Homo-oligomer: A and B are copies of this chain.
């Protein structure tokens, strides 16, 4: 059976005009995949007019409500039971789809994913994991904002989940896991980071110790673990700085006739540079720790960026990431005597 991805077509800043063409682009690039387009049927159908080539792999599922970007997560969960976001998650739960993707409200997607799909045994809340470009390749970083008051145990779980994701997506058996810290001396770091160091060192992961902020982009690790507060600040600092630098570069090239002329001369180089650091190519954050695949796209994603998020969901299913995480978590729990080896790692029930 081919993978089927449920797409919340109503989420994000643009809705169907972006999400539907992105779904079609994804289907054209993945001849083995299917999608369910969830949302207002009257808005989605007209956008499928020119999609005869992939129509057979693209079903529309009507949903009457939309989660707004500023809806409180609890409200979205409680009073929007027919929202496109909720229905997409329901389809995963019911086994009609293998993953869901949304560019909507992050808090609502977390609450809905957690309520509908449930957490893996031993995990309390989903962690948000994104891929970022580095000097030498890319890095998986988590948590990026779901868990703001973390204990050391949570950081250990992030390490396991990030390592399994990296291992699955990059075919790399023992990705290097680093703990984000502020110095390489062990005298540095806050209390929780110090405790997490011991847990990670004993986890059986390929734990390489501390990584400093600059080490993230220097490619010092394949997976960087941090609490959701620090991770979110790091991600937003990155967005803000990148935007500032590109704005300054654009301003300098646009200053006068001569500088615009030199921009023309350098347009190929600038284009290559832009492609190389294009954040759209990295769109699609994984909500990890759930019993199903749920991927969050940036709210402002365009067609290319959103199709990348769908592709990430597809790959996550394809490479059986959830199963890998569940197995590794249960190994660790068994090792600690918290779960007997006979228990099913995905449900926590006895076999």
Contacts and interface: CB of A to CB of B under 8 A. Distances in A.
A208 B269 CA distance: 41
Interface stretch (A152-160, A211-219, A312-320): A211-219
B229 A182 contact: yes
A115 interface: no
Q: Which of A188, A214, A249, A269 has the most CB of B within 10 A?
A: A269
Contact of A217 (B72, B234, B237): B237
A234 B234 contact: yes
Nearest to A182: B232
A134 interface: yes
Assembly stoichiometry (copies): 2
A137 B212 CA distance: 27
A343 interface: no
Interface string A219-249: 0000000101110111111111111110111
A71 to B, nearest CB: 11
A218 B237 contact: no
Given A189-B148, A191-B149, A252 B276 contact: yes
Nearest to A271: B252
A178 B146 CA distance: 22
A145 interface: yes
Main secondary structure of the interface of A (DSSP, over half): helix
A216 B234 contact: no
Contacts of A277: 245, 248
Q: How large is the interface on A (under 10, 10 to 19, 20 to 34, 35 or more residues)?
A: 35 or more
Contacts of A148: 182, 188-190
A214 B191 contact: no
Given A240-B214, A241-B238, A182 B269 contact: no
A180 B240 CA distance: 13
B273 A269 contact: no
B243 A214 contact: yes
A190 B229 contact: yes
A58 B137 CA distance: 50
A255 interface: yes
A248 B234 contact: no
14 contacts: A182-B229, A182-B232, A189-B229, A213-B234, A214-B239, A215-B240, A217-B237, A217-B240, A218-B240, A229-B230, A234-B234, A248-B276, A248-B277, A253-B269
Interface of A: 72, 107, 133-135, 145, 148-149, 180, 182-183, 187-191, 193, 212-218, 226, 228-230, 232-245, 247-249, 252-253, 255, 258-259, 261-263, 265-266, 268-270, 272-273, 276-277
Given A182-B233, A212-B233, A253-B269, 9 more contacts: A135-B247, A182-B232, A216-B237, A217-B243, A217-B244, A234-B237, A245-B277, A252-B276, A266-B266
